[in-house]
Amino acid sequence: MRLVVGLGNPGPKYEGNRHNVGFMAVDEIVRRHSFSAWRSRFQGLVSEGDCAGEKVLILKPATFMNESGRAVGEAMRFFKLQPADVTVIYDELDLAPTKVKMKQGGGNGGHNGLKSIDAHIGVDYWRLRIGIGHPGDKSRVIGHVLSDFAKVEQPEFQRLLEGISDRFDLLAAGKASDFMSKLAMDLKPAAAEKKPVKTDPPVVTPPAVKAEPTSEQQGGLAAQMKRWLSGDAKKN
């Protein structure tokens, strides 16, 4: 069995926050894979389903971010799981927006949700980090993570969440490397269509036009013809 945890803060006030991108990701997985309806359990909301031959439990802690470990620890102990059976999806300040990285174990990077989970189950669980970018100034971090995605950001983040969901079978099967490589291919920008090279139309040289003799030239020719006819030409 695999336990997949999306991190965020509960309640409509926080729904669109960057800090809630973990919730958004698991919501998309549940929707696109037709998992069970959400129900209250383990100090959070859970949804269950099967994917890639694996039983999967999706968990959204309802304890607020800095107490997420309570819900994760309770669910893990109930099903007698090991940390390696757990995947946590969360927002990452130190990654550019929509960039994704995955690893097992490691530090918490100052993320309050991870700090709590570390305290309850240790550090050897899997982490799927979704980049939300850094505001550039430490004093602006809280406002940044607790603000909604800008409209211009939303299409790319939605595309990312759909990509994660589309490749979730690999994640459920524990094939982290395959999951990341397939996701990267899915999200690779489409190559720009080659535009036809505009060329100038060929230059067509019009046929030479024989110039008509001028009136003065016509008069001279007429006089010469007259001399020929009168026999004057022979004298010349």
**Nearest CA to 6 among 119, 106, 87, 79?**
87
- Three-state secondary-structure class, residue 78: helix
Sequence letter at residue 145: V
CB atoms under 10 Å from CB of 47, counted, come to 22
Q: Where are the alpha helices (DSSP H) in the chain?
A: 21-32, 68-78, 112-121, 141-145, 154-166, 168-172, 176-187, 215-230, 232-235
Active site residue 19: yes
User: Cα–Cα distances in Å, from 16 out to 23, 60, 96, 111, 154?
Assistant: 10, 15, 18, 18, 10
Catalytic one among 19, 33, 111, 134? 19
Taking phi over 0 as left and psi of -120 to 50 as alpha, with beta for the rest, 110 belongs to: left
Catalytic residues: 19
